[in-house]
A and B are shown apart, each in its own frame.
Chain A
Amino acid sequence: RTPAALCVLADSREVASGPEVISSLKAVHGIKVQVVSLGVCDYVVSNRLAVERKTQAELLNGAQQSKAVQRVQRLKSTFERICVIVEKERPKAGEAWRAFHRTKRYDSILSAFIRAGIRVLFSSCQEETAELLAGLASVERRKKAALVAPTEVEGPQREALRFYLSIPCVSYPLALAFCHCFGSVKEMVNSSPGEMAARTQVMQQKAEEVYRYIYYHFEATMLP
């Protein structure tokens, strides 16, 4: 009666930038890590929660900060909940240890996150980040929002998944749910928002957004 292993989706870029996060998730926490091309964020730990991993430097430095802000802003349209993990970077070889100088920008972005209901966690290394991700995933499971296996798709489902993912407000877990909960793309397209919400357990509001997209009338002249 042991519960099924937790599952986390990791963006393919994390294989290079956070190898220890991924290996620690697997080896220490026994979590199934599925590497996919998420694009919008670094990790997805449940049906509704996306996690962005940011280095301290990215939030301290103004130029890099605006990029971080843009990414989180984009996430807002696809995920119900967002969490940012601020990770201390490892000192590079040969580089002198630098003291952390808290900047006004850093404080102001933290307050902006807090006011917008974006959760912020602090980590001192990649292993600790993995521990936080594992913690988030188990909290989400307790709230019945855990990712439902299987997280991989095969054969013609791959094409359907890509099709669903191209809908602007659809997150990776929702696209997976469409693949698993509907027999065909046509069945999904012909369902009502209520049916969509009931089958995939997505919020009604999100289902309505998808529904509007399906019925949105194309004007060739509006194409940029």
Chain B
Amino acid sequence: MTFEHILFSIEDGVALLSLNRPEQLNSFNTQMHLEVREALKQVRQSKDVRVLLLTGEGRGFCAGQDLSDRNVAPGAEMPDLGVSIEQFYNPLVRTLRDLPLPVICAVNGVAAGAGANIPLACDLVLAARSANFIQAFCKIGLVPDSGGTWLLPRLVGMARAKALAMLGERLSAEQAERWGLIHQVVDDAELRDQALALARHLASQPTYGLALIKRSLNASFDNGFDQQLELERDLQRLAGRSEDYREGVSAFMNKRTPAFKGR
């Protein structure tokens, strides 16, 4: 499959997926969904990928659903928006959340609608200082999707989640960082380089262990304390069998730099 609406490459353990419909602020149409899905499939299947970096081309990150794809003519039959949620958005955010490797999102500009929630399904979110997040759904009579209603209250608390979701106001990257919605704000000109540097750093780390950390933290929202303790026990059991753990311990004992392989 050749990609028209995304850029995709794999280099030194880092898969770089960039949404590439800059004229439309990288909003999703069916073709872009299919391409993203194919790229993520390659990420999942490739043994070389240890980190995924998701970003956008041009001045926006992602403006969510391309509404011209969903134009409702007056008198036309009521659309079933659940279909594209089930076909595309839910599998996309599930995949990002479940991928057994760290997923970095570099929000390079406006992130609106589903585009504001997709980063929240990633593990480490950097945003350009000029970027902002808009839960635009309420402006057209819709509900935040792509996991927004689940993730927002957990990340910023119910009061702020409801204000964001019901007012649909622009949340600046700096405010998002202060609220704990994202990891870090970076100067616009440095975003791409810093995100890549972070990705390359993580790609040299024990990424199998990082994936287990991701799994345990993701599960903590659903689990009670005792259940989570049991999960920690099981994941530690798995981590303890990894080559990287042996390497890490051996390097520590011999006072040398470890060479991790991600397994």
Q: Do A and B come from one complex?
A: no
